[in-house]
A = this chain, B = another copy of it.
Amino acid sequence: MCESNAYLKDGNNEVMIMESVDTIEPSENGLRLMDIFGKQIFIRAKIKDMTLLNHRIILEELPLDNL
């Protein structure tokens, strides 16, 4: 399966916030993620980088002045 896991950068750590992500939809204020089971979350973050072969999507919280 080709889904990826999404991690939120927290300083030097990366906290997994969603497993088996299928869909990613950026919007003005963040990202909508949906996993392969149809579960959705919205997070005030942007994509920092992603490597699909490693199944890793790294997210970064948006600064508050982006609200």
Interface size class of A (residues with CB under 8 A): 20 to 34
A47–B49 touching, CB < 8 Å:
no
Q: Which of B21, B47, B52, B55 contacts A4 (CB 8 A)?
A: B52
What is the total number of copies of this protein in its complex? 2
A23–B4 touching, CB < 8 Å:
no
Q: In this assembly, does A67 line the interface, its C-beta being within 8 Å of a C-beta of chain B?
A: no
Inter-chain CA distance A49–B21, complex, in Å, is 13
Inter-chain CA distance A51–B22, complex, in Å, is 5
Inter-chain CA distance A46–B4, complex, in Å, is 20
Inter-chain CA distance A11–B51, complex, in Å, is 28
B-side contacts of A41, CB under 8 Å: none
